[in-house]
Chain A
Amino acid sequence: MQVGVGLPNTLEEADAELTRTWAKRAEAGPFTSLGVFDRLVYDSLDPMATLAVCAGETEEIRLATSIIAGPLRSTALLAKKAATVDVLSDGRLTLGLALGARKDDYDAADSEFRSRGARFTSQLDELRQIWESDDIGPEPVQDGGPELLIGGTSDPSYKRVGHYGDGYIHGGGPPKIFAKEAEKAEAAWNEEGRPGEPALWGHGYFALGDEAAADAGREYLLDYYDFTGPFAETIAEGLLTTPQEVVQFIRGYEERGCDELLLFPTVPEMEQYERLKAVVENEWTDT
């Protein structure tokens, strides 16, 4: 398993300097990917634009959306942006897509919320078509287009993984929940008759340091996931606040067959990056 680190793009105060420094440090550190979240009606940076900046600051590290709400966007524009970031990063884009559960985002984007499932399915089909056709360039650097991961926990989501994806990106939670849901993605992949195995990505949140950092992290998660009702509480409870918790979490995901685990900050400070880096570098080695 590999470990990636999230960018602070949905945290307030994430400016150009923090973003660039974060990306450069991650490239130099033990991490294999940089992740971004997507939210429209929120004080956050656009995921694709953020990755484009990071593409210019780095050379090796993978750049991953984790996830972007696909049907919130025009498929042609999304295809072009993704292909562009793939070209500008020399083939390092991993495009994680899912439905997105926030109705306010859809309302603000003038995109119908109710029909997003059906639109997402055809969008996935069209993305590959666009990347392979000559009409809308650029031609992505990666064969078949950017690595395409699909998220969600409904049966149609797993079917999309089996049908269109290169892999599954899990929405977060304890390792055993990941295992249960990743197994469904593997089942879908197997039953739909795809060759090989799906890439499996997971993610978690951290706030390392003192109690104040942990509190700030939890407060951010309760706010960011407020729309999920009681579930926000569960997400906040899962926040990793000690090196021990981080290591246990990484080990748990590794044991359960995760290929890439993204750890996202919840406090927008460079110090958070350094603390995570120290834990990952010193306490964990990929077995």
Chain B
Amino acid sequence: MDINIIGGGPGGLYASLLLKKEHPDWEITIYERDPKDNTYGWGIVFSDSTLGSLREADYKTHDRITDKFAIWNPIDVHYGGERIRCGGHTFSGLMRSDLKDILRERCDELGVEMHWEHDVENPREYAEDADLLIGADGLNSTTREAWEDEFKPRVEMGDAKFAWFGTDKPFDVFTFIFRENEHGLWRIHAYPGRKSTFIVECMEETWQNAGLDEKGKEEGLAYFEDLFSDHLQGYELESKLYSWRNFPIVKNRTWSHDNVVLLGDAAHTAHFSVGAGTKMAMEDAIALYEGFEEYGPDDIEGSVRWFEKERRPRVEGIQDASRQSRLYFENTERYTDLEPEQFAFNLLTRSGKISYDELKIRDKDYTDDYDRWYAQYAQGGDEKRAVAAPPMFQPFDVGGVTVPNRTVLAPSPSTVGSSGRPAREQLERFVEHGHQSPGLVMTEPVTVSDRGRIHPGTPGLYEDGYVDTWTDAVARVNDASTAKTGIELFHAGQRAATRPRRYGLDRSLPEEDSWDIVSASATPYTDRSQTPTPMDDDDLEVVRDRFVATAERADAAGFEVLQLNMAHGYLLSSFLSPLTNNRDDEYGGEDIETRLGYPLEVFDAVRSVWPDEKPVTVKMPATDWRPGGNGLGEAFAIGSHLDQHGSGLLTVVAGQTTANDRPKFDTDVLARYSEQIRNELNVPTMTTNYVTSNDDVNTQIGSGTGDLCQWNPPGLDVNSL
């Protein structure tokens, strides 16, 4: 068997030596553009788990690599004058040049043919000459380019600028430094090695403000030596190849075609902040080698297919985590209002793979200390308590009402009942949820008008006669629970007059049972829905007055929190979205400010009759999840105006503003919207993603993703009706 390998980096070298060791009779030839002794690059990092697979694959390289290792386990976060340390994250690292030397020597011992300073212009010739061509030629792979139509690569550039430096200053652990100066916020990723690696990352604007686009190497290094003089303590920064880049995210539809296979960065990249690039390339090499073990030397197709099957799920997992990590570092400016302790907790949990409980396993002292800090942060006072409950059990003040913990039970619209008078089951469920002692128990959406019912049994508070039933329910919660009580008010608008949701959503009632419905514009919710009548001036006034009257009844019933629903395609939401608002009066138009006009009037009117010492909160959409609809930019505008008008908290949901939206159901997508709105606007939020464990709640509250957390605790079917 003849194998050509383009690229003499760790992936190409390691694949060569593994295959050559097992099959000494194979002709394996490496072609590398750079000289043999090129020492481009600084340190590389391995996580613990990689080492086991290296040992199994080739003991000798493992031995030599580990001899060179620097090993550490804490992560230090420097921010706002504090250093926060969290242990238990085992890493090891060595210089890239040392690793290459070890691998190259081992290739030599085994008889791999290596051509240095050899430019490959046409990879196709190298595929024709051999039984197998391995493209291990990195980020800008010429192999990938030559078979572009087959591999179907997608390369996306990250937003941040970064440069790699080295320094003799010993960093003894993985160190993140965040520092703001007049030019912007700088992120440093520094880690140990024979020489320490010191990566500087910033946003383009900061980079330009600092004049780095015009500064040469010496000036550039001097700038950072000065800015980080307290950390570098007189040591210099070094640069081998001074350049500022944006990180390319490489993905390929497939990694193999005929007798050509891609591995390492040529096939896939992961942001350097997760330290996985070299690790993935070497694991690729192992999997390729194992493919031949599995299928035998005669079956190239089977071996390569096995390699891709083994590696793809693992690589995609790392790419997911690395994407979250990259987004964190591209948006760190958003987190600068967090206290250093919470800033660090948020950083540690950024990828979504490490939760509160996971941190507790890694470093219990760290999480215990964080609990104590969080308790003081939540409750005030001058001193940290000796022992404190985790973040989810800390109280929170929502616009004057203190909820005793961070969990919220808030059921979806129910399907029982036959008129707007709250049905016994609906009331009983509310009471039962209250008795579970969440921080806050919410009613299901309660309508302000009979025309605003989703279906005939949607509970209402639009008649004075309905007040007593709710008063009784609220009293029964208060008698037996510390939970605060909240009511969500809404008008279903274009989604009114539908059949019970048991067999599906938004299925219109038979004509004889239906009623005329209203919305911002004449937009039927689905193809089969009734076309709503656009609200005229009288309707606007009547509905606003109904919201006000209902709020007064809710106050009389004893609810402490009032939430207005401006989401999910219901009446107020239909004004916000350009997809459902084509009014040509003052409440329509291209600007979110004018489309927000009517919902804000309703908010103000309700706020004015609702007691000052109790909050009005708003459920709002973070996005329409539709091209041409509202996105996060509009959500920031909506949230900001609501905040200025005195909303106590924003409950962040997304989509359903039209029936044919394209929602995402990643378990944390709504939490991420909550985090963005909360930290961008500096307002309290409630998360609404599908959360079922204490660990999820602690992670979300601890990291500042939200202030309250709507959840579905184990053993309780929140949406039982």
- Would you call A158 an interface residue if the criterion is a C-beta within 8 Å of the partner chain's C-beta atoms? yes
B662 and A193 within 8 A (CB)? no
CB contacts (< 8 Å) of B690 on chain A: these are: 183, 186-187, 190-191
Name the distance in Å between B309's Cβ and chain A's nearest Cβ: 4
Contacts A128-B504, A184-B667, A193-B501 known; A230 to B720 CB distance under 8 Å?
no
Other-chain residue from A184, A193, A231, A233 in contact with B505 (beta carbon distance below 8 A): A193
Cβ distance B234 to chain A, nearest Cβ, rounded Å = 50
CB-based nearest B residue for A161: B665
Which of B414, B568, B653, B665 has a CB less than 8 Å from the CB of A188? B665
CB of B504 within 8 A of CB of A195, answer no
Task: Give every chain A residue within 8 A of B306 (Cβ-Cβ).
Answer: 230, 233
B432, chain A: closest CB distance, angstroms: 15
Task: For A116, list chain B residues within 8 Å (CB).
Answer: none
Interchain CA distance A192-B413 in the complex, whole Å? 10
B400 at the interface (CB under 8 A from A): no
Q: How far is the CA of A166 from the CA of B505 in the complex (A)?
A: 11
The reply to whether the CB of A197 lies closer than 8 angstroms to some CB of chain B is: yes
Q: Is the CB of A159 within 8 A of B719?
A: no
Give Cα distance in the complex from A197 to B502, angstroms. 10
Query: Min CB distance, A151 to chain B, in Å?
Result: 14
CB distance from B691 to the nearest CB of A (A): 9
Contact A159 B665 (CB under 8 A): yes
Indicate the member of B254, B414, B665 with the most A CB atoms within 10 Å.
B665
* B503 interfacial contact with A, CB 8 Å: yes
Q: How many residues of A contact B (CB 8 A)?
A: 36
Q: Are A193 and B568 in contact (CB under 8 A)?
A: yes
Q: Which residues of A contact B526 (CB under 8 A)?
A: 125
* B418-440 contacts to A (CB < 8 Å): none
Q: Is the CB of B670 within 8 A of A197?
A: no
**For A156, what are the chain B residues with a Cβ–Cβ distance below 8 Å?**
662
Give CA–CA (A158, B415) in the complex, Å: 21
**What 0/1 pattern do residues 702 to 721 of B give for CB contact below 8 A with A?**
00000000001000011111
Question: B124 in the interface, Cβ–Cβ < 8 Å?
Answer: no
Considering the chains assembled together, what is the distance between the CA atoms of A188 and B656 in angstroms? 11
In the complex, the answer to whether A125 meets B528 with C-beta atoms within 8 Å is yes
Determine whether the beta carbon of A193 is less than 8 Å from that of B663. no
With a 10 A CB-CB cut-off, give which of B254, B308, B504, B568 has the most chain A CB atoms.
B504
Contact between B415 and A195, CB atoms less than 8 A apart:
yes
Distance in angstroms between the alpha carbons of A128 and B415 in the assembled complex: 18
Say whether B664 faces chain A, with CB atoms less than 8 Å apart. yes
Shortest Cβ distance from residue A105 to the other chain B in the assembled complex, whole angstroms? 22
Instruction: Please give the distance in Å from A225's CB to the nearest CB on chain B.
Output: 12
Q: Is A195 in contact with B721, judged by CB distance below 8 angstroms?
A: yes
CB distance from B578 to the nearest CB of A (A): 22
Q: Given A128-B504, A144-B502, A230-B309, do A193 and B665 touch, yes or no (CB 8 Å)?
A: no
Q: Which residues of B contact A (CB under 8 A)?
A: 254, 305-306, 308-309, 312, 412-415, 501-507, 526-528, 568, 653, 655-656, 660, 662-667, 670, 688-690, 712, 717-721
- Between A and B, 6 residue pairs with Cβ closer than 8 Å are A124-B504, A155-B663, A159-B662, A191-B653, A191-B688, A193-B568
The 9 closest A-B pairs by CB, nearest first: A187-B690, A193-B412, A144-B503, A230-B309, A184-B665, A230-B305, A158-B665, A164-B504, A230-B308
Further pairs besides A125-B528, A183-B667, A230-B305: 14, Cβ < 8 Å: A121-B660, A125-B504, A155-B664, A164-B505, A165-B504, A188-B663, A190-B690, A190-B712, A190-B718, A190-B719, A193-B501, A195-B415, A195-B721, A230-B312
